[in-house]
Amino acid sequence: MQPVKVGIIGATGNQGRAFIKWLQSSRKGMHITSLCDTGLEHLKSLANEVGNPAIFTDYVAMLRDADVGVAIIASPDHLHCPMALEAARAGKGMICEKPLGLNLDEATRMVDAVRKARVGDAVNFQHRYAPSVQEVKRRLEGGSLGEIVAFHSCISVPLPDLMPVTWRQRRGNSAGGAMADCGSHLVDIANWLFGATPGRAIACNGIVVPRRPSVPDLNLVEAWGWAVEHKDGLPPGIEMVEVETPDYSQILLEYPGHRLATIRVQEAEMLARIGPYITMEVHCEKATALCEVDWGMQGLGRLRVFGAAAGEVPLPDTDFAAWMGEVMGDALSAVEARSAGRAHGFPSFEDGAKVQRVLDAAGRSVAEGRWVQVAPEG
């Protein structure tokens, strides 16, 4: 078979560089043929590291390049929709970073675009594939846990307090701050485990670090590095500016049958210092599964069961790079399958739109201070 020809939009940013590493770890036959970003010098340097693919500063030009079969959209949230629509017009399959769009309207347009163009699609909800999460899903489907009745979860990402403002802290660029950035992963897992979308939601947001340094033209990787470099204090002349999006969020979701899920996201350093990256309690009729996900742990986490078949569950021994290589291989296979009209289990744009329904409901709940209905599917 011919290798999949991949072009990456947003290649020099945090997620773009991550996608490059993950793809290079994949056993799937693929070739990075094109890189696109706005900073030409960074782009030239990265291209030298990757093997001198074609470089573009205009994503429309890259998407019209016949040497790209699958486009990876690794840009900030507010660019996902226009880039995906252009990729569909160009007949390219695509893998989009989460969340799918800024809102449900954008997500719906993206779903409609890939359907109309008959191109394959995938959303990078890779946390579904963590070994501990996969094992919980297998046990739910096998019946050993019984039916799921409640889901309680937390994701912790300790952004340094002196990390400069990036697009993630700006309204209009981020789809909703902490809940959209990281909480979208947990919403997807909750939907997947319940096999449904919730009917209503109530949410609250907070900004624990209300002001951050203003250092222009830094991507997420550079902003984190800047914070580490200046951890002992700000250099002279650095302005502090207001943060516009929440770094702490909590949402309560009601699924069919009055089953509940809680999702807490904490990105402020003072909140996220302790514990694994993700913790999940999956309460079921016969047993409770306590699931931890942490890329530094053996098996990328830990799984313990209480109740029926109690005990610690052994997980496959893998490292993060090898695991993400497998995930990327599956994502590329999903794009190929859907382009050919075949079903595939990797999270799709439709799954991304389901998550967006919840994120939109959470935003309305915060604004109105009450329970709100999640927009129905269809």
Candidates 57, 66, 56, 124; CA nearest to 91 is: 66
- Domains in the chain, number: 2
Q: How crowded is the C-beta side of 144, counted as CA atoms within 13 Å?
A: 13
Same domain, yes or no: 338 and 304:
no
Structure tokens at 222: 């550079």
Residues 81 and 177 in one domain: no
Distance from C-alpha of 211 to C-alpha of 268, rounded to nearest angstrom: 12
Q: Are strands 121-123 and 93-96 parallel, antiparallel or unpaired?
A: parallel
Tokens for 177, please give them.
């701050």
Residue 109 covered by a domain:
yes
| Residues 92 and 18 grouped into a single domain | yes
Apex 329 CA angle, 87 and 34, nearest 5: 40
pLDDT tens across 137-159, in order? Answer: 999 999 999 999 999 999 999 99
* Residue-level pLDDT at 1: 65
Does residue 114 fall inside a structural domain? Answer: yes
Q: Is 281 among the domain residues?
A: yes
Do 114 and 257 share a domain, yes or no?
A: no
| Terminal-residue alpha carbon distance, the chain | 37
Residues 135 and 247 in one domain: yes
| 161 is a domain residue | yes
Residue 270 lies in a domain: yes
Stated pTM of the model = 0.96
Query: For the chain (length 378 residues), average pLDDT per consecutive 10?
Result: 91 94 93 94 92 95 93 97 98 97 98 98 97 97 97 95 95 95 97 98 97 92 93 93 97 98 95 86 98 92 94 93 95 97 97 98 97 92
Q: What is the CATH number of the domain that holds 95?
A: 3.40.50.720
What residue type is assigned to position 238 of the chain? Answer: I
Q: How far is CA 141 from the centre of its chain?
A: 24
| Same domain, residue pair 217 and 184 | yes
Strands 248-255 and 200-206: what pairing?
A: antiparallel
Residue 350 in any domain: the answer is no
Would residue 351 count as lying in a domain? no
Q: Is there a single domain that holds both residue 309 and residue 341?
A: no
Tell me, yes or no, whether 66 and 195 share the same domain. no
Question: Are 197 and 191 contacting, i.e. CB atoms less than 8 angstroms apart?
Answer: yes
3-class SS shares of the chain: helix, strand, coil, % to 5:
40, 25, 35
- pLDDT confidence of residue 276: 81
pLDDT value for 272: 83
Q: What SS3 class is residue 42? A: helix
**Residue 224 maps to a domain:** yes
Same domain as 212, residue 121? no
pLDDT digits (tens, 9 = 90+) for 13-23: 989 999 999 99
275 with 338, same domain?
Answer: no
304 DSSP β-pair partners = 290, 312
| CATH number for the domain that contains residue 235 | 3.30.360.10
230 and 329 assigned to the same domain: no
User: What range does the domain containing 230 cover?
Assistant: 127-318+356-373
- Determine the Cα–Cα distance for residues 45 and 11; give it in Å rounded to an integer: 11
> CA 257 to CA 199: how far, in whole Å?
10
Alpha-carbon distance of 322 to 276, in angstroms, equals 20
174 and 50 within one domain: no
